Amino acid sequence: MTYSLQKSMVAKVVGISLVMLLAACSSDQRYKRQVSGDESYLEVPAQKALNTPAGMILPVQNGDYDIPPVTLNGAVGKALDIRPPLQPLALLNGSRTQISGSTATLLLENSAQNSQLWPQVVRVVQDKGFTIASRQDASQTLTTDWIMWQRQDEDVQYQGRYQISVQPQGYQVAVVVKLLELQQQTNPVTEPSQLQRYTGLMLNTISEELDSQATARENALANRTSGSLDVQSGADDTGLPLLVVRGPYSVVWERLPTALDKIGMKVNDRSRPQGSVSVTYRAPGSGTWNDIGARDPELPNGDYKLQVGDLDNRSSLQFIDSKGHTLSQSQNDALVAVFQAAFNK
């Protein structure tokens, strides 16, 4: 009886210890930041001067290959953060991003489409629940209160204060994010990698939400504009042939994959911000052309890059083959009727 009781108590203690161990492991996020494996390289003995036997004549020394002494100030071993730098995302059509230290910038075309960028940025900040400490609509600048970030790769979370502004810059308009202060448990953080990480985190949050807003607007427009699309032959600024579709970019972009599939073009990859579509063409049989009501354009089989351009209420389609050449004028003209039928069948 005593033996059974002791055995039961031991089992309970082991069980509780195991639960506590698993709980500790599940909350410890250091494995996401620290290098794993052997750290014996940290114990490598210092290099010593070469001792030569007495009387040996050595070659004349040449300092070309000498390794200069270096003072290591960075973190090593488990203290080294192995996470890659956070990259700013260029999600919006035609956008570019750049980041330096505590300042990150999202660059967009200064067009009518982006004329309401400031209220959109303010809406993003409000929708995310970030408290605005001050706001100047005249200068299109706001300052946030402390924002507590929740990241799964941190044991102790960081909080930061930001200045966010929209600045016209000639033919571009910039959303500029500046990290004013960064803290961890009220302790100031000055490590450059962390400052850049949390600067980029705010810019990406804004970029993602702006992209979601733009997609919602474009989808609403596409639902209202579900009529036929007229296709014509045209040329770019350098005179190279392309197709001009009388429809906004958002509508053409959404309807393009289905149209391409109808004419034997398999979509391999596409990027909406860059307006590029990678396709592989395999000429279908005569039955396909009869079904859509167009003649075979006699386009060579192979891989093509399709560049989609935004011309406000119109869009352009330009095919580039695997050698970097655009289609000939006759090939381009043959696709007019093909895409006219593919878009509207």
Torsion, Cα of 164, 169, 174, 177 (10° steps): -40
Is the pLDDT at 75 greater than 60? The verdict is yes
Give the C-alpha separation, 45 to 64, whole Å. 24
SS3 of 206, please?
helix
The count of other CB atoms within 10 Å of the CB of residue 149 is 15
**Helix ranges, 100-144 (H):** 117-127
Q: Are 194 and 79 in contact (CB under 8 A)?
A: no
Distance of CA 237 to the CA centre of its chain: 30
Q: Which pLDDT score, from 0 to 100, does residue 149 have?
A: 95
Beta pairing class for 230-235 and 241-246: antiparallel
Give the C-alpha separation, 278 to 261, whole Å. 13
The count of other CB atoms within 10 Å of the CB of residue 115 is 10
Torsion, Cα of 92, 98, 101, 104 (10° steps): -30
Task: Tell me the pTM.
Answer: 0.56
Is the pLDDT at 82 greater than 70? The verdict is no
First and final CA of the chain: distance in angstroms?
84
Confidence of residue 179 (pLDDT cuts 50, 70, 90): very high
Q: Which of 260, 265, 264 is nearest to 288 (CA)?
A: 264
Q: Could you identify the residue written with the tokens 């303010």?
A: 122
Give the C-alpha separation, 183 to 160, whole Å. 6
Domains in the chain (CATH in brackets) are 96-222 (3.30.530.50), 230-344 (3.30.310.170)
Instruction: Give pLDDT tens digits for 181-224.
Output: 999 999 999 999 899 999 999 999 999 999 988 888 777 766 66
Confidence of residue 122 (pLDDT cuts 50, 70, 90): very high
Kindly report the three-state secondary structure assignment for every residue of 140-200.
Answer: CEEEECCEECCCCCCCCCEEEEEEEEEEEECCEEEEEEEEEEEEECCEECCCHHHHHHHHH
Burial 44-69 (b: 16+ CB within 10 A, else e): eeeeeeeeeeeeeeeeeeeeeeeeee
Give the C-alpha separation, 16 to 160, whole Å. 38
Instruction: Give pLDDT tens digits for 16-39.
Output: 555 444 444 445 555 455 566 677
Instruction: Give pLDDT tens digits for 31-71.
Output: 455 566 677 767 778 777 778 888 888 888 788 888 787 77
Q: Which pLDDT score, from 0 to 100, does residue 48 have?
A: 78
Question: CB under 8 Å to 343, separation ≥6 — which residues?
Answer: 228, 229, 231, 245, 255, 259
Distance of CA 90 to the CA centre of its chain: 6
Residues 297-311: what's their mean pLDDT? 94
Residues 130-135: what's their mean pLDDT? 97
Instruction: With residue 46 as reference, give the H or E element that holds it.
Output: none
Q: Which pLDDT score, from 0 to 100, does residue 16 have?
A: 54
Q: Which pLDDT score, from 0 to 100, does residue 247 have?
A: 87
Phi and psi (nearest 5°) for 332?
Answer: -65, -45
